[in-house]
Structure 1
Amino acid sequence: MIEVRELHEMAEFERVYGVFDDIWHFAPGDPPITLELMRALSHAGGYVAGAFEGDRLVGGSVGFLAAGAALHSHVTGAAAGRGIGLELKLHQRRWALERGLERITWTYDPLVRRNAHFNLAKLGARPREYLPCFYGVMTDVINQGDESDRLLAEWPLTEPHVAALARREPQVTPVPGDAVVALADEGGRPVPGPIDAGTVLVAVPADIEGLRRADPGTAKAWRHAVRDVLGGLMAEGRTVTGFSGKSYYVVEKT
């Protein structure tokens, strides 16, 4: 049983920092959040929460209030594959709605398939902006010098599809039969295709984190291909409407 609750004490923030460091193995002097900032955000009415399995802290999330009646979720980390991330997000949603907030936003790496599936298919969030190298070149163990392209995701908390997903009602993003593949995964490498269609699909690699370690050149090729194709389509005003088959972004003309 996972319990998520707000945190307020320095000893609790130290435990959250430890969970984050176990996940990312921050370079010295380069954490995404500090104990002092967690303390300040918590005291000022921001969001600092931990997920507990009994007495054991297994995940955490830190966010701050943003313009436009929104909570911006700055960093969230949890043990993988046990539903902890979903419990943290559902707690965030309840917290935000109780305070009259309409949206939660966050950034994520567009190349990480499981995050794209989680954010778009399981939560119903939608990418609103492609942000090239948003945080500069990353130094933690997971990202290993990669350029930090990010998608800004927006979670409209009261939309019917989000409310349904919050009730754990599964939904599938429909893909029309005439959709074309604008970026394909062929033999593990990105291959651009046509983009002149009402609906296009943009693939991402099966395991970008492993690829960074095993074949940095191919990982870099994926980074720039997704930036050019997905980022280019979004810059033209097209809308990402979902993530299909745990493999492709679905992008539509609007």
Structure 2
Amino acid sequence: MKKSPPPKKSISGPDVRIRPLTSLEEFRDCVFIQRRVWDHPDLDLIPDHFFQIAFHTGAILLGAFVDGRLSGYVYSFPADFGRTRGHHSHHLAVLPEVQGLGLGKALKWAQRDEALKRRLELVTWTFDPLQARNANLNIHVLGVVGRTYLRNFYGETPTLGVEEGVPSDRFLVEWRIKSARVRARRQGPPAPVDPRRIPKALEREEGGLEPAIVPGRPNLRLQVPRILVEIPGRIADLPQGEGLVAAWQTAARKAFEAYFARGYRLDDFISGERSYYVLRLTAGTERAPFFGRPS
């Protein structure tokens, strides 16, 4: 009989420490982590000498150490948001063997602590709308909001798409780190939203079998305070090369672009048997400044 694997240690255990990264040796470890986590070719890796100059010119670069080994990091750099002082967060990476310990969440909260020390107000970043795990962390746990959809933002870069040949669409999200919303999230995520009574702008076709679930046609005519947009719980589990990933992206893109234009924003995320974005109608359409934003 095979022995059960040892239980993973909690993030609150004494063997986990988060601190600033300051040396070239640690920056080289960040390059190693990039390669392990994202399988990027060398051309797409941020090199150690870039981290060196970034560290000395205002970047936030924090590492998570497990049993003394650098096992994850978060990286952000100063960004021009007009009168709002802020950073753009470009990397959050955790080695596969220690994922599930809460390191990603801990790194982001440590990033916020450091940003507050620097009197910043806003941290932005991008993520793929079809990645449910990232959506749950970013929106439900950390409390970001957003209403900016960026089509094929990183171009035809194979390692940045959910499937080869599928555009690298992204949300640009806003972490208002001094807001009451984010302060409340720091104490813990809110109770899950019950999806049964909220109208769906997008959901799977009924009768579809896992994992080959098919998106339905987006309903772009809803006029209610909250709506839901469904995505697959694990996009990587969809059959590859059969057009399903592209179909989900196309359907979700239509829904998000239509409702963002009408004043809805990302407000929460539901994870469970099925995964949904919760969009809430808000006053106005103000968004964080973002140079080069598509019209």
Fold-level similarity (TM above 0.5): yes
Query: In structure 2, what is the Cα distance between the partners aligned to 1:193 and 1:141?
Result: 25
Partner of 1:53: 66
3-state DSSP of counterpart to 1:64: strand
Supply the AA of the counterpart residue of 2:66. E
Query: In structure 2, what is the Cα distance between the partners aligned to 1:176 and 1:205?
Result: 15
Q: Does residue 9 of the first structure (1) align with residue 13 of the second (2)?
A: no
Partner of 1:73: 89
Partner of 2:56: 43
Partner of 1:249: 277
Tell me the CA shift for residue 141 of structure 1: 8.1
Q: 5+ residue gaps in structure 1?
A: none
Partner of 2:76: 63
Shift of the 107–141 alpha-carbon distance from structure 1 to 2, 3 Å rule, reads closer
3-state DSSP of counterpart to 2:158: coil
Please state which structure has a larger fraction of its residues in strand: 1
Partner of 2:136: 117
5 Å-filtered alignment, 1:122-201, equals: 122-140=141-159, 143-145=162-164, 146-167=166-187, 169-172=188-191, 174=193, 179-186=198-205, 187=208, 188-195=213-220, 196-198=222-224, 199-201=226-228
Supply the AA of the counterpart residue of 1:138. T
Partner of 1:206: 233
- 1:186-230 CA distance string (max 9 Å, x none): 32111124331312210111211233x634410111111111111
For the 8 Å contact 1:24–1:142, the answer to whether it is kept is: no
Q: Percent identity?
A: 33
TM-score w.r.t. length of structure 2? 0.79
Supply the AA of the counterpart residue of 1:15. D
Query: In structure 2, what is the Cα distance between the partners aligned to 1:139 and 1:193?
Result: 27
Tell me the CA shift for residue 2 of structure 1: 2.1
Shift of the 106–175 alpha-carbon distance from structure 1 to 2, 3 Å rule, reads same
For the 8 Å contact 1:180–1:197, the answer to whether it is kept is: no
Partner of 2:40: 26
Query: In structure 2, what is the Cα distance between the partners aligned to 1:35 and 1:83?
Result: 26
Query: In structure 1, what is the Cα distance between the partners aligned to 2:270 and 2:160?
Result: 29
For the 8 Å contact 2:233–2:271, the answer to whether it is kept is: no
Partner of 1:87: 106
Tell me the CA shift for residue 142 of structure 1: 7.2
Tell me the CA shift for residue 40 of structure 1: 1.2
Supply the AA of the counterpart residue of 2:234. D
Greater C-alpha Rg = 2
For the 8 Å contact 1:103–1:156, the answer to whether it is kept is: yes
Query: In structure 2, what is the Cα distance between the partners aligned to 1:77 and 1:237?
Result: 32
Tell me the CA shift for residue 164 of structure 1: 2.2
Q: RMSD of the TM alignment (CA)?
A: 2.0
Shift of the 173–126 alpha-carbon distance from structure 1 to 2, 3 Å rule, reads farther
